[in-house]
Structure 1
Amino acid sequence: MRRKLVLGIILGLLLTNIVTLGLWWWNSSTGDVDYSVDFESRKPVAKVNGEKIKYKDWLSYLENQYGKKALQDMIDTQVIKQLADQEDLSINKGVLKLEVSLLATMEGPLSKDAIKDKKKKWAKEVTERLYLEELVTRDISVSEQEIRAYYDKYGDQYNFSPTVQLSHIIVSDEGVADKIMEELDEGTSFSALAQKYSLDEETKSSGGYLGFYTESSSFIPSEYYEQTQQLDDHTYSQPIQTTEGIAIVYLHHYLPEVDLSYEQLHAHIRREIALERMADHPDASKLWNDLEVEWIYQ
């Protein structure tokens, strides 16, 4: 009964995934991203000089092109989740926070809502990956001595320093700086003002975007980091006098410190060492035999 229920859920999710993919394909091809389109299976989804593309042919194409891989990914997710639950696996919250913070530093500027959505997505993906690594390495023996030696050698790489994501505008005149502040206070985009006024030719075209920096970075004036400690995300500083001119700094996102102890990293390091001993990359499909998996491609 459990097997049939799981298969039913997976097939239902697959159908939803295919329809969603179809919506994306249809709307991206027309340049109109509207996911509220109401399809009727009896009507064609397109016409080319009167020649009809039928709904069932479209779905068949999507299934043949993407269906098997999509279903395999969904089964992998279910297998990992069920085995992790069965074995009562858990991921240290500090390790998860570190992984998500590192992923955040690879992103450009995002809105508050986009950051929230991205972090939720990353946390889910990282958790699934770490569960998979734990499951595929569970039979690989790693001694306490090996774990301690690895920590002593590489432990520093698991510490994440407080990091700020910044943009700036550089001008040479206080009057211009005051004018920019007035426009910012009135709601004008920081990026637009950087493109209009900034003297920094390297960042001007990208709206003054600088990237991610820590306190020890030598690539930005020290005043930038100091000023942003007083700011909330998506706010800007008062004009700052620097050696390059008068600067106004925008804080996109602040990522706090992550400092993990040996105990917090113990299980993670054991996985890292075990993974190095594996000949292949972790593959969830190798765990399918641990559960009763049936799918339409058998």
Structure 2
Amino acid sequence: MKSTRDYDNAPAKRRLKTKPVLVVLSILLIGNLLWFIAWLIPNDSSKTNHSEEVASVAGKVITKEQWMGSMESIYGKEVLLDMVNAEVMEAAAKKYKIKVSDAEVDLELALIRSTQESTSLQSYDEEVLRKDIRSRLILEKVLAKDIVIDDDAIKEFYDNNKNLYNTSTSYRTSVIYVNTEAEANKVVKELENGSSFEGLARERSADASSASLGGDIGYVSEGNESVDKALVSAVQNTDKGKWSKPIALADGRFAVAMVKSVFEGQSFSYDDVKERIHRELALDQLPQSVTQEAFWQEFDADWVYSE
């Protein structure tokens, strides 16, 4: 998937630009698939057994070779594209002496978690997300490095958009949705008796999407319009690693929520975000979107992927 960014002109007051979240999710998915495929491939090619059985149906064997071949045909091009683009951005960082600090990545993560779309960040490894953010920041810094923005314009933007840089505490949350209070009470009792929250979510939750992810609904924070207010309130009053009492939802269902991790809200000062705002304003001046592929020729990236 391409790491693209919307560089259209924007009004003085606007929503926080953290790169379109759906693009982030697509790249995260590819990153996870890349890791998974790499895990499947033995380090010593001489010991690879492509005929190894991984499953069977009515006596018919499915081999590792068939399995991996199917994954390659579906995801191979996107995974390779992601790998090439990541290497191109690292080459660009070296050539243009661009640095991306952990603090900058932390800032982007905090801002992503604070957006309403953050509830879509389900089952994605944070390290994959950090790598994607690093690649995006390198691209943005390369594109913005020669564009001059007056300090007064940067300060004016900050003063007019301070609310964007005051993030609410966010909670990585898993939820089991059920249809009745009696079912919710039964879930709580099973949890108290040692049952796995993830396992119960997969087995009992009435919400198929989150059930398939062990109940994970991503990050929940104050102001998430896509999350029931009663659920948000319950999560805010639940300790990390603990689950809530049954929660009555507005749609008539009930839920039991578990807080997996907590990220405290932050207020970022002008100095914290000055460079970020400079990039925002500089990139707004570009006439069109620019992707990593635009740098392939400069860094001698060769695409020989076979369709």
Q: TM-score interval w.r.t. the shorter chain? A: 0.5 to 0.7
SS of 1:188's equivalent in the other structure is coil
Give the counterpart of 1:136 among 127, 143, 156: 143
Within 2, Cα distance between the matches of 1:94 and 1:70?
22
Give the length in aligned residue pairs. 239
What displacement does 1:262 show? 1.3
Q: Residue type matched to 1:250 in 2?
A: M
RMSD value over aligned CA atoms?
4.7
SS of 2:256's equivalent in the other structure is strand
Give the counterpart of 1:271 among 268, 274, 279: 279
Instruction: Please report the TM-score for the alignment, with normalisation by the length of structure 2.
Output: 0.57
**Aligned CA distance change for structure 1 residues 168 and 228 (closer, same or farther; 3 Å):** farther
SS of 1:250's equivalent in the other structure is strand
**Unpaired stretches in structure 2, ≥5 consecutive residues:** 1-32, 53-68
Larger radius of gyration: 1
Within 2, Cα distance between the matches of 1:227 and 1:69?
39
Q: Residue type matched to 2:149 in 1?
A: V
Determine the structure 1 residue equivalent to 2:110. 98
SS of 1:95's equivalent in the other structure is helix
2:42 aligned with 1:36? yes
What displacement does 1:251 show? 2.4
2:187 aligned with 1:180? yes
Q: For the Cα contact (< 8 Å) 2:246–2:256, is it kept in 1?
A: yes
**Aligned CA distance change for structure 1 residues 282 and 230 (closer, same or farther; 3 Å):** same
What displacement does 1:273 show? 0.4
Higher mean Cα deviation, 249-258 or 213-222?
A: 213-222
SS of 1:187's equivalent in the other structure is coil
**Aligned CA distance change for structure 1 residues 92 and 74 (closer, same or farther; 3 Å):** closer
**Aligned CA distance change for structure 1 residues 36 and 278 (closer, same or farther; 3 Å):** same
Output aligned runs, 1:135-174, within 5 Å. Answer: 135-164=142-171, 165-169=173-177, 171-173=180-182
**Unpaired stretches in structure 1, ≥5 consecutive residues:** 1-19, 26-32, 47-57
2:233 aligned with 1:225? yes
Within 2, Cα distance between the matches of 1:71 and 1:212?
27
Within 1, Cα distance between the matches of 2:233 and 2:259?
10
Q: Residue type matched to 1:215 in 2?
A: E
Q: Residue type matched to 2:268 in 1?
A: L
Determine the structure 2 residue equivalent to 1:125. 132
Give the counterpart of 2:89 among 64, 70, 77: 77
Higher mean Cα deviation, 125-134 or 265-274?
A: 125-134
Within 1, Cα distance between the matches of 2:247 and 2:81?
53
Within 2, Cα distance between the matches of 1:216 and 1:239?
21
Identical aligned residues as a percent: 18
Determine the structure 1 residue equivalent to 2:23. none
What displacement does 1:168 show? 4.2
Within 2, Cα distance between the matches of 1:120 and 1:128?
12
2:121 aligned with 1:107? yes
Give the counterpart of 1:237 among 234, 241, 244: 244
What displacement does 1:37 show? 8.6
Larger fraction in helix: 1
Higher mean Cα deviation, 207-216 or 121-130?
A: 207-216
Q: For the Cα contact (< 8 Å) 2:154–2:277, is it kept in 1?
A: yes
Structure 1, residues 135-192: CA drift from partner, whole Å, max 9, x if none? 221111100111122222333223321223341455434xx65543332133334466
What displacement does 1:72 show? 4.5
Determine the structure 2 residue equivalent to 1:3. none
Greater relative contact order (CA < 8 Å, ≥ 6 in sequence): 2
Within 1, Cα distance between the matches of 2:216 and 2:81?
38
**Aligned CA distance change for structure 1 residues 184 and 281 (closer, same or farther; 3 Å):** same
2:270 aligned with 1:256? no
